Amino acid sequence: MGMKSSFLLILFIVPAVLADLRVGFYKPACPDAESIIFQAVQKRFNKDKSVTAALLRMHFHDCFVRGCDASILIDSTTQNQAEKDSGPNQTVREYELIDEIKKALEAKCPSKVSCADIITVATRDAVVLAGGPNYTVPTGRRDGLVSRAGDVNLPGPQVDVSQAFQIFRAKGLTLEEMVILLGAHTVGVAHCSFFSERLQNDPSMDPKLAANLRNVCANPNTDPTVLLDQGTGFVVDNEFYKQLLLKRGVMRIDQELAIDSSTSGFVSRFARDGHGFKQRFGNAMVKMGSVGVLVGNDGEVRKNCRVLNPKNKPTVPSPPKKGKVSPPSKKAKNKKQKKPKSNGKKKKNTRAL
């Protein structure tokens, strides 16, 4: 589901939010919104099928930090390092595609469609183009006003099933939903540095796969990527689970899904039932995409996904202007100035550091 960094990026849905998000939210104000998004994604997909993995990863990384509010799209400034410049987000890509979509939407319907909804709908469209389920996406998200690199704290691919489930469960997801959403790795890639420790005598990896990956990762001066689904790496299907049953999972967390007794049953079931996996994957994506969203009057609808609208940009207070100081009157000069009495205590410094 993405390149360098972690892949476990899921949050839970608050039922009240569903009342604010709704299917067809933009029909009255921008009826062509979803069509415009799809056309741009389709054009990009026809040139590079890895766009599906890229958008899935962007969507997950956005939702996991502050909810699905497009805070991952905001550029850093001299006063603030934004989420996109944090370590885990260094290789998130397709920002330019989001820019292209936003530009087209602003030309058609100014200040109507949020960047958060663009990410969510574009990800669904990329999944569909890659053979995945055509799940219905409720819209109406607003864009966040905060993006800080320090807020990004994403789990890495070396975690085991128990550690991963603690993260998912804390976000309201079930164990089954965790296995389903990690199934997005069916179109993912990973850098060699994320699994290189598994290439030397790991009994849980198919020896032929290990030998092949050692050749790919042989040059210590580079860190190439490999497909996480060694069968159909650009198709959203259940082949990922079939590969796990053959010990052909690339990353540790993926292969452990088939080994751990708490998750192995789900892996076996989805390996057998491709239709069932796709249906559940769509449901899980809707659930994740509705978490932590801003609705109503919260947040804003950015005109440029990379920057806050002018009225909401954080400002640095200007120093007070130096005005003309009137000279003291003669009366004031002649008046004795009373010195304040000291209580012998030092004045407490209340300024923030």
What predicted TM-score, i.e. pTM, was given to this entire model? 0.82
DSSP 85: G
Distance separating alpha carbons of residues 88 and 149, to the nearest angstrom: 10
The dihedral region occupied by 88, where left means phi > 0, alpha psi between -120 and 50, and beta the remainder, is: alpha
Does the annotation list 203 as a binding residue? no
In a domain, 12, yes or no: no
* CATH code for position 74: 1.10.420.10
61 is a catalytic site residue: yes
Across 141-145, 149-153, 245-249, 298-302, least confident range: 149-153
**Mean pLDDT along residues 305-309:** 98
Return the structure tokens found at 288.
């994740």
Tokens of 143: 């864009």
Can you tell me whether residue 218 is helix, strand or coil?
coil
What the block records as the tokens of 281 is 């994957």
Query: What's the mean pLDDT in 302-314?
Result: 89
Cβ(62)–Cβ(119) under 8 Å? Answer: yes
Is 52 labeled as ligand-binding?
no
Say which of 59, 61, 191, 275 is annotated catalytic.
61
State the Cα–Cα distance between residues 326 and 287, nearest whole angstrom: 66
The domain in which residue 276 lies consists of 32-289
232 is in an annotated binding site: yes
What distance in Å separates the CA atoms of residue 267 and residue 281, rounded to the nearest whole number? 13
Share of the chain above pLDDT 90, in %: 72
| Span 163-169, average pLDDT | 84
- Decide if 173 is inside a domain: yes
Q: What is the mean pLDDT of the chain?
A: 86
Evaluate whether residue 233 is within a structural domain.
yes
Report if residue 336 sits inside a domain. Answer: no
Query: What's the domain count of the chain?
Result: 1
> For 9-27, how does the pLDDT look when each residue is reduced to its tens digit (9 = 90+)?
433 334 445 558 999 999 9
pLDDT digits (tens, 9 = 90+) for 233-275: 999 999 999 999 999 999 999 999 999 999 999 999 999 999 9
254 is in an annotated binding site: no
